[in-house]
Structure 1
Amino acid sequence: MTRTGTGTGTGTRARVRPGAAARPAARALVLAAAAALPLLAAAPAQATGYRYWSFWDGSSGSWTYQQQGPATYRPQDGGVDGWRFAVSPDGGSGAARPRAAAGFAAVCGGTAARAGRKRVAVVLDFGTPADAPAGERPPVRRTACAVVPEDASSAEVLAATVPPLRYDGSAILCAIAGYPRSGCGEAVGAGTADAAGAPAKGGGSGDGGGPSVGLAAGGAVVAAVAAGAVVRARRRRTP
């Protein structure tokens, strides 16, 4: 505290050192930021999923997301086509995989090879009740051994073994074995099930229960503002 002027009583006034008033405000900002960050980190992300049949190749013994559509892909004899209906991100390996093993022998082991024909194992996973459109229940998982011409596409494999199929006006496969009865790749909000039946990954990275990137970034801004206030207060205290 420094006195200025002369005399006593009304002639005396106090001058606060530069930065002294800023210190409580800076501390308050730091405490507010520290309290806010756990809440921001716990806020759920709002990932959008799509309800559709994803297409998988199991010829190697494990499921790999198909980079070709069923109308253009032509499996070899001994191939395994896998299909999974689920709420998943928009394509890519983040989609829900079939929950059955990708094994040709288990499906077609008892089917003899034939000249001019090929054998393709088909694995259908209709998903969980949480994946189903309103008013529908998924059929049980099933497999089939298709014996088709050597040049048949995966779409022709499906048509030969698990009809009826339903396509939309853009030739997108909407239903296999009549499921689902309606809808085709509609957006439905956060994903519901992955290959293990746990909450699905949305947007290819989040898990529906993790922190929102936007909220976390907002928390970082709050912390940065608080830190800046501390720095400014310290600079004011410097003579």
Structure 2
Amino acid sequence: MNHMRRAGNPFYRERAQRDLQGFKFTKVFGSGSSTEGTPRYEIWRCRKPGTSDLAMDIVLTPLTVSVTGDIDPLVFQVSRGLDFLAGNDIEYYIHGKLSPECKSVELDRDAMNRDRFDRLHAEVDDLHGAALAEAGIKDTDYERFADLIALAESLPEGEGEAARALEAALDLATRDESFVGTEHEYYHLLGELDLDTSDMGQITKPTDTLMTWLYLANEAARQILDDAALSATELAHAAA
């Protein structure tokens, strides 16, 4: 087993490995070959004998990789084989190739709070750079969000557009984290506070359910490739 390939989020990885214990992986169909040596049409059945819980089929075609069964369907628009599904970059690359109708996202509160920190830090720096430097709060010190808020609240009120922007950023920063539940609601609040949204980064992430299915399919593909590699090694030793 190639443990160096076992990258990714350890929570989802360990759950997928636990859920797949006792599973058998059987190629039920395969024909043709691609330029990379991967069968052009291939179906792998993944299931635990005696139960259909989490059973799934991995289907490879010239244009797609799909996973169907006792999970939500996953369809990837790629001309690849199991090597794609078994890749390391699940949350960005593999998820990025997922068909839009299969995607489900939720608000990433950590990313949202980093955006709130960034806005407040920038406005404090514009008006009170010396005080910010004295406090030693850098633009990457996200864990010091509360310190940044306390500093901003202690500063003298100013006048003009820059002071208004600082007040709006502080208003945003001091809202309870539950003040919004979706990306759209966050954008709407930024508009109400007349804050710029043009340079805002990604503040959504795949849902927990989707991540569970992605890691489960990824782990299944990895175990299939591991089994194939082990069989090839055993055959080579037998022939030696």
Q: More helix by proportion, 1 or 2?
A: 2
Q: More strand by proportion, 1 or 2?
A: 1
Greater radius of gyration (CA) = 1
Which structure's relative contact order is higher, taking Cα pairs within 8 Å and 6+ residues apart?
A: 1
- Give the structure-2-normalised TM-score: 0.32
- Give the structure-1-normalised TM-score: 0.32
